[in-house]
A = this chain, B = another copy of it.
Amino acid sequence: MASPTPTLLLLTFFFFISASADPDMLQDLCVADLSSGIKVNGFPCKDAASVTSLDFFSQGLANPGLNTLGVSLSRIDYAPGGLNPPHTHPRATEVVFVLEGTLDVGFLTTANRLISQSLKKGDVFAFPKGLVHFQKNNGKVPASVIAAFNSQLPGTQSLGATLFGSTPPVPDNILAQAFQTSPGTVKHIKTKFQPKK
């Protein structure tokens, strides 16, 4: 089609290993017991006798992960024109390595300074903890990166979706005042971020 319509979020996340654990470790291993009814900061540990090498291994899809290791890794794929829109990771710094394609990336400091860069295959870039950042594939071919985080559970808060697509919604007048725009514009943007039913 002729349309230059913005192509939002033509990207795929594969969380390989949600390894994890940012407080210091107190044992060699604490593989997450995801079936435990008990919830703690992070996860309880599986019994050591039932740990195998597969707990440390992943073939491209999320796996139970390694509790307490303080690191995680994901792969992100971007279609041509695809944007990983402005977002934060509340609990981690991110470093990306470009596997293929090209990307324009940037982060914003608390002094509202934009620090941006164009990346190609093999390049590496860092996004400091908690700061707003984005990646855009302005190229004509797909791009992909490996992203490393220094937390087992960095969290991701995508700003458009959280502000305009939350449940319950953020009141229109707050968003209009925050972005200095009209309630009508806010209502229109909200229609694009309807939570899935």
Contact = CB atoms under 8 A, between A and B. Distances in A.
Contacts of A25: 22, 41, 91, 128-129
Interface in A143-174: 146, 148-153, 155-157, 159-170, 173-174
A47 to B, nearest CB: 7
Given A110-B28, A179-B164, A71 B157 contact: no
B160 A124 contact: no
B148 A160 contact: no
A30 interface: yes
Given A163-B159, A179-B189, A180-B193, A130 B85 contact: no
Interface in A9-29: 16-17, 19-29
Nearest to A37: B47
A89 to B, nearest CB: 8
Nearest to A7: B177
A35 interface: no
Given A91-B26, A122-B60, A169 B41 contact: no
Given A23-B24, A40-B44, A114 B72 contact: no
Given A16-B124, A85-B178, A188-B181, A71 B44 contact: no
Interface of A: 6-8, 16-17, 19-30, 33, 36, 38-42, 44-47, 51-54, 56-60, 66-73, 75, 83, 85-86, 88-95, 97, 99, 106-117, 119, 122-132, 134, 136, 146, 148-153, 155-157, 159-170, 173-181, 185, 188-189, 192-193, 195
